[in-house]
Amino acid sequence: MTKEKEFLEVFNQLEQYLRVEYNGDHFSYSGFMSTLYRIKKTGKNKIINNKYNFDVLKQASQIRNIIAHNNDVLVPSEVFMNKFKEIVDRMTNPLKVENIMIPFSQLKTVQPSNTVGEAIELLKEHGYNTIPVIGDHHLLGIFTEKSVFDYLSMFNNESIAKSMKISDIIEAIDLNYDPRKYFAFISRGTLVETAYEHFDRDRKHRREMLILLVTEHGEKDEKLLGIVTMRDIENALLG
């Protein structure tokens, strides 16, 4: 297969994807660049929103036009083809949460029998903002830097010490008490772009979403499979 033909096949794959995803598979397709600009304006596709990716796609459109009318004038370089194919693959085969999550086996966790001091030291040692609390292989809550203050705000007459067990303050960190929106549950099959919207929506409401908790179907009573942070999502979408 010639480089020109390979390029056109990849371009056609992308064009068909855009037609289905953003034009409802209508044949009144508005044109490649018109569609790109329309998608970019909505801000809904983080890959297209990226300036570098957008520039590559614009160049691809120009190359397609030249090859389509004069196929013996221009041959895409290997470097450009690799860049273009990578972007198209990321768009047409979008990543899912399970592809980028930190799996449970790699998580730092605490149990109800651990002390508050141990949880705090774990946060400091690894530079984390959150530590999952696990009991009987299930998620019981999320210990954060603010958990101590949440406990004190709940029980005005109580005091807290580092020697106290996590189980002693579980009411301030369990999944039924939500002083602030620290986290949300999400299914492993959710698209990464959809996961991004959780954080984006949270910022607009001036709340603090620290992590997404991944379970099979996004239900809190299911086994914790992993976690996803905003940094994980940005790395996946922006490369």
Task: Report the distance separating Cα 42 and Cα 44, nearest Å.
Answer: 5
Q: How confident is the model at residue 205 (pLDDT cuts 50, 70, 90)?
A: low
pLDDT of 80 over the 90 cut = yes
> Percentage of the chain surpassing pLDDT 90?
49
Burial 10-20 (b: 16+ CB within 10 A, else e): bbeebbeebbe
Output the six-digit token pair for 2. Answer: 């010639």
Average pLDDT of span 186-204: 83
**Helix (H, G, I), strand (E, B), or coil: what is residue 162?**
coil
Q: What is the pLDDT of residue 72?
A: 72
| CA dist., res. 88 & res. 80, Å (int) | 12
Burial of 113 (0-12, 13-18, 19+ CB in 10 A): exposed
- Read off the pLDDT of residues 43-76 as tens digits, 9 standing for 90 and up: 878 889 989 999 999 999 999 999 988 767 788 9
Lowest mean pLDDT among 23-27, 39-43, 71-75, 119-123: 23-27
Does residue 27 surpass a pLDDT of 70? no
Hey, what CATH topology would domain 98-238 get? CBS-domain (3.10.580)
How much is the pLDDT for 207? 62
Name the DSSP class of 223: P
Low-confidence winner among 77-81, 190-194, 235-239 (lowest mean pLDDT): 235-239
Task: Calculate Rg over the CA atoms of the chain.
Answer: 24
Helix, strand, or coil here: 70? coil
Identify whether the C-beta of residue 184 lies closer than 8 Å to the C-beta of residue 195: no
Q: Where are the domains of the chain?
A: 3-91, 98-238
Which candidate, 181, 187, 176, places its Cα nearest to that of 213?
Answer: 187
Structure confidence at residue 189 (pLDDT): 95
pLDDT greater than 60 at residue 177: no
pLDDT computed for residue 182 by the predictor = 65
pLDDT of residue 92: 92
Output the pLDDT for position 101. Answer: 96
User: Token pair for residue 102?
Assistant: 């930190």
C-alpha span between 71 and 230 (Å, rounded): 44
Cross-strand bridge partners of residue 212: 184, 228
Where helices occur in 70-146 by DSSP H, the ranges are: 78-92, 97-100, 116-126
Q: What is the pLDDT of residue 26?
A: 56
Widest pairwise Cα distance in the chain: 82
Q: Tell me what the pLDDT averaged over the chain comes to.
A: 87
